[in-house]
Structure 1
Amino acid sequence: MRLRKGKRQKADHGPEADHRPGVSAATSGLAVELRDVRRRYGRGAGTVHALSGVDLALPRGTFTAVMGPSGSGKSTFLQCAAGLDRPTAGSVFLGGTEITGMSEDELTELRRSRLGFVFQAFNLLPSLTVEQNVLLPMRLAGQRQDHRRAAAVLAQVGLADKAGRRPGELSGGQQQRVAVARALVASPDVIFADEPTGALDTGTAAEVLGLLRNAVDRLGATVVMVTHDPVAAAWADRVLFLADGRFADRLERGSAQRIAARMTALTAGTAPVDAMAGAAA
């Protein structure tokens, strides 16, 4: 099955693109792009506008954290960006491929072959071994199961000696490492992480975030992480803040303290909406 290709963004995006989060004029390609994406649920007086015209362009090989108050649209953003939900309007591109309007079969193929996922709940299959869980994306995509590749990614996450174990025999932190290895095994265009450290203690969370950071810095991966934790967000290259279904603020390479302060301002309604160009600090 052949996926339809969208137009890739040019290296020089022009002055208008400077107002969108994550855009770099020196970027040779974009990993994730959303154009005026909207998502609403319900009808009439009960309509909920979860996303209200989101524009986003993220270069390849970057680590982006997305934060926002409860109900700001974080989960809806991730689901639309990853092809897990369909926007009501607008366009989504992953690795230059427009996924808007794809059939369910095409979306399933894309997710299995070109995307990686890390969830708070790990989502490992208890009946499979660690190695089998890591190789599951390849198996589901109909690809040859590369045991050497599985061994390599398990070594990268420090679990080279756990390949034959079952998830129930591992700690929570080790299970999340398996989930990271599973996300990396097919060298995906983008890894989407949804609260990946929400169920972990502080020390174990730092280990998992270090693995995601290493995947970007040493393996050239692209990571998009939704989180409520300023400490987790501080591992990212940039933090984008959602409010009322729109990106309201951004911070480049911020410390946990500065990120927490921006979140406090956003929750209090004092952060400048649509101030993306001037928000970097």
Structure 2
Amino acid sequence: MRLRSNRRQRSAAPSVAPAADSGLAVELRDVRRRYGRGAGTVHALAGLDLALPRGTFTAVMGPSGSGKSTFLQCAAGLDRPSEGSVRLGGTEITGMDENELTELRRSRLGFVFQAFNLLPSLTVEQNVLLPLRLAGHREDRRRAAEVLGRVGLADKAGRRPGELSGGQQQRVAVARALITSPDVIFADEPTGALDTRTAAEVLGLLRHAVDEAGATVVMVTHDPVAASWADRVLFLANGAFADHLERSPAARIAARMAALTSGASRSNVTAGAAA
């Protein structure tokens, strides 16, 4: 992993054609995101540079308002940066139009959200197959059975989400994310609605996808225990990378997060006094 922040550099020219394979799954170059204008401008991202290799599990943490959600949205092509370049699997996505971005998200990215986002009227199998259907590909029921078996739900294919527990629904969401063998799986607080034991099961599935299937996972979380499953933890503060840890226990991650939050609070108090 290469990690830098708050460094001005010239962005690469947008291109929708795949670049030569660099072995990187996610690349951000001087990514900035602003909201509003004039005195009311909010700098959600303040110049992020990041390079994540394929087959890695990265957790992103930070205090409330640090830019975590904006980072995920820009990295996944759900929002456009105000400046800078984003590449996914070697493909420059910054200059893509909405149709191209939609196609990329359907065919090359996987998503796991806190709220599961399953369609209640569809069966488990149909929910898992949905990304293939939306991308215009053949609905491969054998592949669906394979990924459902991988998440321990081979016998639930004909059930509907409402018949499953929350943990089972999140495992369906993981299976859905895996169905297209995506370049990157983006997970947004995937354990936020789960109890401790079930959360560990879901995190174990994401870890297994990285270790055994070569997937790349980028997870935003507030939970140090969840972050401890990752290869590395990146800490965001005020829209910039403030720190990182390599494969660390939950207690160390929590201590680093507490120090970061305390520092951010002191900065806000100082800024308010100056104003």
Cα distance between partner residues in 1 of 2:46 and 2:66: 10
Contact kept in structure 2, 1:66 and 1:227, CA below 8 Å:
yes
Within a 5 Å distance, the mapping from 1:112-131 to structure 2 comes to 112-131=106-125
1:3 to 1:101, Cα distance in 2 relative to 1, 3 A: closer
3-state DSSP of counterpart to 2:110: strand
Find runs of 4+ consecutive structure 1 residues off by over 4 angstroms: none
| Contact 1:6/1:93 (<8 A) preserved | no
What is the match of residue 232 of structure 1? Answer: 226
Query: For 2:198, which of 196, 204, 215 is the aligned residue?
Result: 204
- After superposition, the C-alpha distances for 1:197-249 in whole angstroms (9 at most, x for unaligned) are 00000000000000000000000000000000000000000000000000000
| TM-score normalised per structure 1 | 0.88
Q: In the alignment, does 2:235 pair up with 1:222?
A: no
Tell me, yes or no, if the aligned pair for 2:118 and 2:161 is still in contact at 8 Å: yes
Partner of 2:29: 35
Query: Helix, strand or coil for the counterpart of 1:71?
Result: coil
For 2:33 and 2:16, locate their aligned partners in 1 and report how far apart those are by CA, in whole Å: 24
Measure the CA separation in 2 of the matches of 1:6 and 1:60.
Answer: 15
Q: In the alignment, is the contact (CA less than 8 A) between 2:235 and 2:243 conserved in 1?
A: yes
Q: In the TM superposition, what are the counterparts of 1:138-157 in structure 2 within 5 Å?
A: 138-157=132-151
1:51-200 paired onto structure 2 within 5 Å = 51-200=45-194
Taking the aligned partners of 2:81 and 2:19, their CA distance within structure 1 comes to 17
Where does the alignment leave 5 or more consecutive residues of structure 2 unmatched?
A: 1-14, 265-275
Question: Hey, what's the Cα distance between the residues in 2 that align with 1:146 and 1:32?
Answer: 28
Displacement of 1:122 after TM fit?
Answer: 0.1
What are the superposed Cα offsets for residues 103-122 of structure 1, whole Å, 9 maximum, x if unpaired?
A: 00000000000000000000
Aligned residue number for residue 18 of structure 2: 5
Name the SS of the counterpart of 1:267 in structure 2: helix
AA in 2 matched with 1:98: E
Find the residue that maps to 1:112 and give its secondary structure.
helix
Paired residue type of 1:248: A
Cα contact 1:216–1:223 (8 A) shared by 2 = yes
What secondary structure does 1:85 align onto?
Answer: coil
